């Protein structure tokens, strides 16, 4: 699924899935290398010590007391990623020199660069998110274009134009308005082995001669503002209001929103958990009218742990379906031998944001809405709780499942 929330005021942009790439990897572009290099340089020179301390305090307040040693041990790393994400967004804010930049991703080594993680607020391992011009402080969707609406050429390419003219009857066109501030493209990968992100480039059609690129001082100033906004949006909003307000070990009924960068076609369910070593959270998901859903596990600060090496998420393509069309997941620190195991990577505490996408605006009140039901059970009682026909795996089958996951995920950083 491709989603194009919207960008500039009256500038005209052409976008096509074609640019120079390395090792047949659409993410390994010269622009990506250039922007990653700049982000690393600025991250080393500017530490944002005061703002990081403010962010840490806000996250602690949103979490509430008590905060376990397990949770505390992961907080500094989460704040570091939050700060790096603010810097990555700031780097790509130049409307006269737009670039396609892969963001909201975990740490990686490529191009002889060690790129820090820039994840925040429920990163999804299925997502490949490109910022083409970024103003992360703009949180409401102005317009969008879904992959199902695209007109694709015979060679698989497409071009999208964006300006102030009407989109009525226009092919692959998005109308921007004076309230439009950012443009990003999000690819959801269901089958990590066979699906790849689009090869995206962006070009400004209007004359930008005489317009110098944004300065490093401007980038740092913007990054500081981004981080200040992120403290409120993700610390207070996502962690506090959306997540910790809910009852422990439950997932709230799915709801839809167009704020905080959320897809207008998405329903979400938030929860926070505390499980014993011999306990499991059993969650049964109804897909409803969605064409995609994902169940991801994140740490207490809304960050995935080892998503390429551990099965911390499963989507509707990857998961095994029940006989009645629902999906049952088992979340636990210990492997229960169930195909749809969500691995907490040894953590007893965590958070989750389950997503359903491809929905109409009123999908949660439709005749076939998405839903989720949860319960916590001892592992010793798990088989009596699971539905008939649940798929179990041997140790060898689990190894094969994880090997495919690692192989698919590693394609994103091949150079």
pLDDT of 167 reads 72
150 and 251 in a common domain? no
Assess whether 144 and 257 both reside in one domain: no
Rounded CA separation 270/238 (Å): 9
R_g over Cα of the chain: 21
Q: Structural domain of residue 175, as residue ranges?
A: 2-229
Last residue of a domain, one of 179, 198, 229: 229
- How far is it, in rounded angstroms, from Cα 99 to Cα 71? 37
Instruction: Identify the pLDDT of residue 257.
Output: 78
Total domain count, the chain:
2
Q: What is the pLDDT of residue 8?
A: 36
Q: Evaluate whether residue 234 is within a structural domain.
A: no
Distance between CA 283 and CA 352 in Å, rounded? Answer: 11
Question: Phi and psi for 51 in degrees, rounded to 5?
Answer: -65, -35
User: Can you give the pTM of this predicted structure?
Assistant: 0.91
Mapped onto helix, strand or coil, the DSSP state of residue 299 is: coil
225 and 253 share a domain? Answer: no
Joined together, the tokens standing for residue 151 give 């007109």
Q: Is residue 330 part of a domain?
A: yes
Among 182, 200, 229, where does a domain finish?
Answer: 229
Residue 164 phi, psi (nearest 5): -85, -5
- C-beta separation of 102 from 215 below 8 A: no
Task: Measure the CA–CA gap between 279 and 350, rounded to whole angstroms.
Answer: 14
Let me know whether 206 and 336 are in one domain.
no
Judge contact between 188 and 291, C-beta under 8 A: no
What is the residue-averaged pLDDT of the chain?
A: 89
CA distance 353 to 146: 22
The most distant pair of C-alpha atoms in the chain lies apart, rounded to whole Å, by 70
Same domain membership, residue 265 and residue 198: no
- Does 122 fall in a domain? yes
What is the per-residue pLDDT for 71? Answer: 99
Residues in the chain: 415
Same structural domain, 150 and 262: no
Residue 236 lies in a domain: no
One pLDDT digit (tens) per residue for the chain, 415 residues: 344 433 333 334 444 454 455 668 999 999 999 999 999 999 999 999 999 999 999 999 999 999 999 999 999 999 999 999 999 999 998 888 889 999 999 999 999 999 999 999 999 999 999 888 655 444 455 567 777 788 888 888 888 888 778 777 778 888 877 666 677 788 999 999 999 999 988 888 877 778 899 999 999 999 999 999 999 999 999 999 999 999 999 999 999 876 655 677 899 999 999 999 999 999 999 999 999 999 999 999 999 999 999 999 999 999 999 999 999 999 999 999 999 999 999 999 999 999 999 998 777 778 899 999 999 999 999 999 999 999 999 999 999 999 999 999 999 999 9
- Whole-number pLDDT of residue 290: 95
Tell me, yes or no, whether 240 lies in a domain. Answer: no
The answer to whether residue 239 sits within a structural domain is no
- Is 30 in a helix, a strand, or coil? helix
- Co-location of 183 and 313 in the same domain: no
Decide if 16 is inside a domain: yes
Mark which of 229, 259, 275 sits at the end of a domain.
Answer: 229
The DSSP line for 275-291 is --TTEEEEEEEE-TT-S
Whether residue 241 is contained in a domain is answered as: no
Beta bridge partners of 268: 255, 355
């Amino acid at each position: 699924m491709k989603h194009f929330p919207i960008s500039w005021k009256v500038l005209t942009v052409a976008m096509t899935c074609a640019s120079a790439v390395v090792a047949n990897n659409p993410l390994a572009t010269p622009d990506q290398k250039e922007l990653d290099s700049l982000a690393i340089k600025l991250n080393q020179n500017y530490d944002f010590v005061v703002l990081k301390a403010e962010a840490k305090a806000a996250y602690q307040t949103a979490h509430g007391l008590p905060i376990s040693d397990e949770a505390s041990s992961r907080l500094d790393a989460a704040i570091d990623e939050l700060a790096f994400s603010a810097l990555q967004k700031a780097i790509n804010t130049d409307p006269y020199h737009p670039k396609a930049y892969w963001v909201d991703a975990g740490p990686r080594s490529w191009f002889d660069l060690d790129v820090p993680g820039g994840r925040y607020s429920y990163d999804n391992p299925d997502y490949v998110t490109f910022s083409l011009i970024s103003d992360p402080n703009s949180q409401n969707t102005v317009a969008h274009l879904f992959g199902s609406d695209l007109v694709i050429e015979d060679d698989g390419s497409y071009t999208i134009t964006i300006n102030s003219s009407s989109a009525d009857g226009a092919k692959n066109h998005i109308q921007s308005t004076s309230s439009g501030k950012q443009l990003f493209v999000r690819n959801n990968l269901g089958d990590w082995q066979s699906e790849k992100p689009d090869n995206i480039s962006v070009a400004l059609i209007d004359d930008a001669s005489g317009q110098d690129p944004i300065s490093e001082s401007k980038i740092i100033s913007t990054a500081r503002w981004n981080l200040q906004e992120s403290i409120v949006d993700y610390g207070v909003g996502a962690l506090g209001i959306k997540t910790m307000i809910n009852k422990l070990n439950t997932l709230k009924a799915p709801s839809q929103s167009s704020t905080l960068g959320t897809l207008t076609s998405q329903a979400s369910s938030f929860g926070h958990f505390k499980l014993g070593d011999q306990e499991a959270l059993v969650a049964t998901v109804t897909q409803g009218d969605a064409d995609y859903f994902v169940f991801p596990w994140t740490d207490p600060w809304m960050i995935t742990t080892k998503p390429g090496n551990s099965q911390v998420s499963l989507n509707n393509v990857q998961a095994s379906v029940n006989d009645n069309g629902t999906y049952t997941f088992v979340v636990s620190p210990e492997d229960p031998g169930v195909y749809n195991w969500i691995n907490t990577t040894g953590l007893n505490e965590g958070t989750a944001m389950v997503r359903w996408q491809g929905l109409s605006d009123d999908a949660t009140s439709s005749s076939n809405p998405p839903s989720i039901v949860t319960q916590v059970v001892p592992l010793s009682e798990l088989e009596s709780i699971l539905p008939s026909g649940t798929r179990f795996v041997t140790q060898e089958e689990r190894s094969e499942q994880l090997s495919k996951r690692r192989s698919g995920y590693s394609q994103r950083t091949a150079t």
